[in-house]
Structure 1
Amino acid sequence: MNIKYAIFDLDGTLLDTIESLIKTGNSMLKELGYEPRSNKEFRKFIGYGAKELVRQLIVAAGDEEAKQLEEAYKIYMQLFEEYCVYKVEPYPGILELIAAMQERNIPLAVLTNKPHQMTGRVLATTFSEDTFAYVLGQSTRFPRKPDPTAAHYIAEKLGAKNIQEVIMIGDSDADIQTAKNAKMLSAGAAWGFRGSQELIDNECDILLEKPTDLIQHL
């Protein structure tokens, strides 16, 4: 295995953002007159972008046909402006992994289905501005993961000539399938929102119990 470039997912991989997402989502549901959803439900719903999270939340809350989706999404995005960095913190071992990669001159990037306009603010809670060579959140420019278009674009920006030298690290099926669709290496972050079984089921190339487990493969 020859890893020369790395692309990270954000939520559930680099940073534990679950409290910010729960705070935003349940505040939205409250404004719409619905009961809050559980931590377990949020972990299941996260991974395919903010609008899909909102859709699943309102369906679970009782709007089975998601008729309020546009209204709910507007409320969610307004609330997320305030709560996107709420109780955000790095997972244990992430800073050590990033440092080890930097010591080996491995260019780093972030590809997330989190709205692009909030992604920089969330990363800034922990990382310096020069940590990642390229950061790309969800926008109208590219289809969301697991479509490989954005991953290929980032690999090109990083200077990768051989896609097999690029590894994508993430905690969900969306991340592993993005890597597979892009013909990249994949590493499953078992410390994240979904746990190890989903990553095994999606046949990640490497299963990581903790971030520093990747260092031996560098």
Structure 2
Amino acid sequence: MAAFPFDVVAFDLDGTLADTAPDLTAALNHTLEQLGYPVVPAGDVRHMVGHGAKALLRQGLAAGGRSDEALVERGFPIFLDYYEAHIADESFAFPGCEAALDELAARGVILAICTNKLEALAWRFVDAIGWNRRFPVIIGGDTVGVSKPDPAPLLATIARAGGGRAAFVGDSITDTTTARAAAIPCIALSFGFHDRPPAELGADLLIDHYDELIPALERLAG
């Protein structure tokens, strides 16, 4: 088998590797209920994910007509406690994802995660879903002091994975902006958690299913 053109392939987590919206929605709405604010429909939460838990809570409160940092700080531990206890109750890997990860690993690619989720929560999710041996490197939104779209987390992810030629896979404008800032080629998913049409994300390539990932990476290396 010919050598694969990338040494490292890094992935966003929420909305890219897995549909985590059901559990994030449950945690957000539990928190909003505890604070006495209206819950948010699951479909709306999908467009709020990607900037970390505090940003999600901030947007959830804003949807109910309140924007108050003191309330965000009050709700944050409520959110974390609930989400940690229910982190993978209803979340699931996107179709074809695990097969694509297996194929990349079989070709000698180091798999890594670069997410704005808190690192401890990302590791907890990976363990809960049975992926603890797939990803030797996870960089979270709190790991290096800044979060995406700053390129530092992605660059740190690649460095900790051993360096070499790398690509990034994501689902949002945050991911594509991060990749561009890091000068790393990027593939975006037409599914996942978007706040705009996928064609407007600015990725190098756009795929509709994980079955297309490895051919897309090979084309990207072109």
Equivalent in 139, 147, 150 of residue 150 of structure 2: 147
Alpha-carbon RMSD: 1.8
CA displacement 1:66-90 (0-9 Å, x = unmatched): 4411112122112222122221211
Partner of 1:204: 203
Partner of 2:189: 189
* 2:99 paired with 1:96: yes
Contact 1:15–1:91, Cα closer than 8 Å, also in 2: yes
CA displacement 1:27-50 (0-9 Å, x = unmatched): 001011111111222011110011
Contact 2:139–2:156, Cα closer than 8 Å, also in 1: no
Bigger Cα displacement from structure 2, 145-154 vs 63-72 = 63-72
- The whole-number CA distance in structure 2 between the counterparts of 1:184 and 1:47 is 19
Structure 1: runs of 5+ lacking an equivalent: none
Counterpart of 1:210 in structure 2: which amino acid? Answer: H
- The whole-number CA distance in structure 2 between the counterparts of 1:137 and 1:73 is 17
C-alpha deviation, 1:65, in angstroms: 4.2
* 2:171 paired with 1:168: no
Q: TM-score, normalised by structure 2?
A: 0.90
- The whole-number CA distance in structure 1 between the counterparts of 2:157 and 2:85 is 29
C-alpha deviation, 1:12, in angstroms: 0.7
Partner of 1:86: 89
- The whole-number CA distance in structure 2 between the counterparts of 1:109 and 1:45 is 23
Contact 1:58–1:66, Cα closer than 8 Å, also in 2: no
Bigger Cα displacement from structure 2, 110-119 vs 20-29 = 110-119
Equivalent in 115, 125, 128 of residue 125 of structure 1: 128
- The whole-number CA distance in structure 1 between the counterparts of 2:102 and 2:109 is 10
* 2:6 paired with 1:3: yes
- The whole-number CA distance in structure 1 between the counterparts of 2:134 and 2:47 is 29
Bigger Cα displacement from structure 2, 124-133 vs 67-76 = 124-133
SS at match of 2:13: coil
Aligned-residue sequence identity (percent) comes to 27
CA displacement 1:4-46 (0-9 Å, x = unmatched): 3100111111111111000000000101111111122201111
Counterpart of 1:3 in structure 2: which amino acid? Answer: F
* 1:45-56 matched pairs, under 5 angstroms: 45-56=48-59
C-alpha deviation, 1:153, in angstroms: 1.1
CA displacement 1:119-161 (0-9 Å, x = unmatched): 1121123344321121122225330111111111121122224
Bigger Cα displacement from structure 2, 116-125 vs 175-184 = 116-125
Counterpart of 2:10 in structure 1: which amino acid? Answer: I
Count of paired positions: 214
Bigger Cα displacement from structure 2, 50-59 vs 66-75 = 66-75
Contact 1:179–1:185, Cα closer than 8 Å, also in 2: yes
Contact 2:47–2:195, Cα closer than 8 Å, also in 1: no
Partner of 1:20: 23
Q: 1:98 to 1:195 in 2, by over 3 A?
A: farther
Bigger Cα displacement from structure 2, 27-36 vs 77-86 = 77-86
Contact 1:28–1:76, Cα closer than 8 Å, also in 2: yes
Structure 2: runs of 5+ lacking an equivalent: none
Contact 2:14–2:20, Cα closer than 8 Å, also in 1: yes
CA displacement 1:83-135 (0-9 Å, x = unmatched): 22221211110011101101211111001111111111211233443211211
Counterpart of 1:190 in structure 2: which amino acid? Answer: S
